[in-house]
Amino acid sequence: MGTPPLVQAEAFGTSGFLAFRTTKSPNETLEKKIFREKMLSVLRKARLKDKEMRILMLGLDNAGKTTIVKKIMNEDVRTVSPTLGFIIKTIEYDGYKLNIWDVGGQKTLRTYWKNYFEKTDTVIWVVDATDRARIDDCKDELHGLLQEERLLGASLLVFKNKSDVGGAMSEADVREGLDLDAIKTHRWTIMACSAMTGLNLHEGLQWVVQDAKDRLFLF
């Protein structure tokens, strides 16, 4: 199942606890915007060279985000409570330090997601493959995220969770439902996974790390 976590750390917080300042100005010129984006790319490249990554795990409520994190960390997944704020887990994987931010997905908490965008290298978007009724809501939230300026340059891994459950949507169903092929602004991939069995969780982390290595030569 790939390289196991070597080092683990954890932090908790409540929604809205972290608030990051942005240097964006309403009167910002195109030249300043381009310069700022180049500086962000330089900073991201420097952090990747230091082999440290910030991963933001998002998705609708009940998608299985926290269970995925717990499974990756080899923790007990039999009882998992909804995340009402955020949880940070840190692991060393394939030589990289991965700081995974697991943020609650309840509708009342989604307005706080923007507080966690700063310095994100990869977004892991978790989809409940059994929740056909909310696939449009899931698509709208995802595409809204990808328009955020602070997520420019971040890659996207879509985890189709609960793939082991009977009647779950296929990868093609989720790909179409989320309109993934319309995404031209971010590097992305989709993987079927199971938070309960561990299916493809480490393969997902492998993609994240390999993508980081590849991007060192793209900035």
What is the set of active-site residues?
106
- Residue 166 has phi, psi (to 5 degrees) of -60, 135
63 is in an annotated binding site: yes
Beta carbons of 159 and 175 less than 8 angstroms apart: no
**Alpha carbons 198 and 204: distance in angstroms, whole number:** 11
107 is in an annotated binding site: no
65 is in an annotated binding site: yes
Q: Give the three-state DSSP class for 13.
A: strand
154 is in an annotated binding site: no
Number of Cβ atoms within 10 Å of the Cβ of 28: 12
Lookup: tokens for 96: 């990289």
105 is in an annotated binding site: yes
83 is in an annotated binding site: yes
**Alpha carbons 208 and 191: distance in angstroms, whole number:** 12
Residue among 62, 45, 209 at smallest CA distance from 134: 62
- Burial (CB < 10 A; 0-12, 13-18, 19+), residue 71, is buried
164 is in an annotated binding site: yes
163 is in an annotated binding site: yes
Residue 97 CA, chain-centre distance (Å), reads: 15
59 is in an annotated binding site: yes
51 is in an annotated binding site: no
94 is in an annotated binding site: no
- Residues annotated within a binding site for Mg(2+): 66, 83
Where is the binding site for GTP, in residues? Answer: 59-66, 105, 161-164
Annotated binding site: 59-66, 83, 105, 161-164
